[in-house]
Amino acid sequence: MKKYLQLISSVVLCLFVGFAGSLVTAPSIPVWYAALNKPFFSPPNWLFGPVWTLLYIFMGISLYLIWSRPKKLKIIFFIQLFLNFLWSFIFFGLRQPLLAFLEILILWYFIFFYIRQTLPISRLAASLFYPYLAWVSFASLLNLSVVLLNRPNSPPANVQEEIVGNDRDEHGCIGSAGYTWCAAKSKCLRSWEEACE
C-alpha cells in the first residue's frame, strides 16, 4: 500500500506543478499568444494540454522509481521541475520570450543531466524522460522561432489580422492583438515589445 501511495503522490505532485503552470499560461493564450507571429510548425493550442499531461505523468512515475535511490537524483529532479514551471511563468506570465528561451536551455540541460545520472540506476526511470527531452527540444525551437519572428517592428501574424481584422480603432490599431496608438512615434505598437516615448 505504501508503494502505491508513493506512486500516486509522485504523479499528483507533478500534475499539480503542471496545473499551476496552466494558471499562469491560460490568461495569455487568447490574446497575447494568439497575436504572436509563430512558425509554420507551431502545433495547435489544444495539443499542448494532452501532451503535457502525459509528460507530467511520466515524470511522476520516474520520480517514484528513484524515490529511494541516491538523494542527488531527487535534487536534480526537483530542480528541473521548478525550471519547468518557471518557463511558463517567464514566457506566458511575464511575456518575455527571449528570457524564456534562455531559461528553457537550462531546463533542457537539467533534463538531460537527470537522464544521464538516472540511467545506470534505473533504465525505466531514465527512459520515461526521453519523450520529455524530445518535447522540450521542440519547445526550445518553437520558443526561439517566436523570438525571431516577433522582434520589434515585425508585422503582426496574418492569421491574427484575419481573426481581429474588424477590431481596429480610429488609427487602425488592432486592440485585441495588443496594439495601441503611440502618438510620439505615430504608429501602432505593443507595449511589451516597444516603449512609447
Domain CATH code at residue 7: 1.20.1260.100
Range scoring the smallest mean pLDDT among 65-74, 77-86, 136-145, 175-184 = 175-184
State whether 61 and 99 are in the same domain: yes
- 164 has a pLDDT exceeding 50: no
State whether 42 and 139 are in the same domain: yes
pLDDT of residue 184: 76
State whether 177 and 109 are in the same domain: no
State whether 99 and 17 are in the same domain: yes
- 104 has a pLDDT exceeding 80: yes
Whether residue 45 lies inside any domain: the answer is: yes
Give the residue numbers spanning the domain of 11.
Answer: 2-149
pTM beyond 0.85: the answer is: no
**Mean pLDDT in residue range 87-109:** 97
State whether 114 and 171 are in the same domain: no
- 52 has a pLDDT exceeding 80: yes
Nearest Cα residue to 19 out of 45, 66, 52, 41: 52
Please report, for residues 2, 56, 62, 90, 102, the alpha-carbon distance to residue 79 in angstroms, rounded to integers and kept in the order given. Answer: 25, 15, 14, 16, 16
Whether residue 91 lies inside any domain: the answer is: yes
State whether 175 and 98 are in the same domain: no
Please report, for residues 61, 87, 125, the alpha-carbon distance to residue 96 in angstroms, rounded to integers and kept in the order given. Answer: 32, 10, 33
Whether residue 180 lies inside any domain: the answer is: yes
Whether residue 137 lies inside any domain: the answer is: yes
- 163 has a pLDDT exceeding 50: no
Whether residue 35 lies inside any domain: the answer is: yes
25-35: per-residue pLDDT in tens? 999 998 899 99
State whether 105 and 163 are in the same domain: no
pLDDT of residue 136: 98
The DSSP symbol for 132 reads H
- Measured CA to CA, the distance from residue 47 to residue 43 in angstroms comes to 7
Whether residue 197 lies inside any domain: the answer is: no
User: What proportion of the chain, given as a percentage, has pLDDT over 70?
Assistant: 84
Whether residue 195 lies inside any domain: the answer is: no
Number of folded domains in the chain? 2
Whether residue 102 lies inside any domain: the answer is: yes
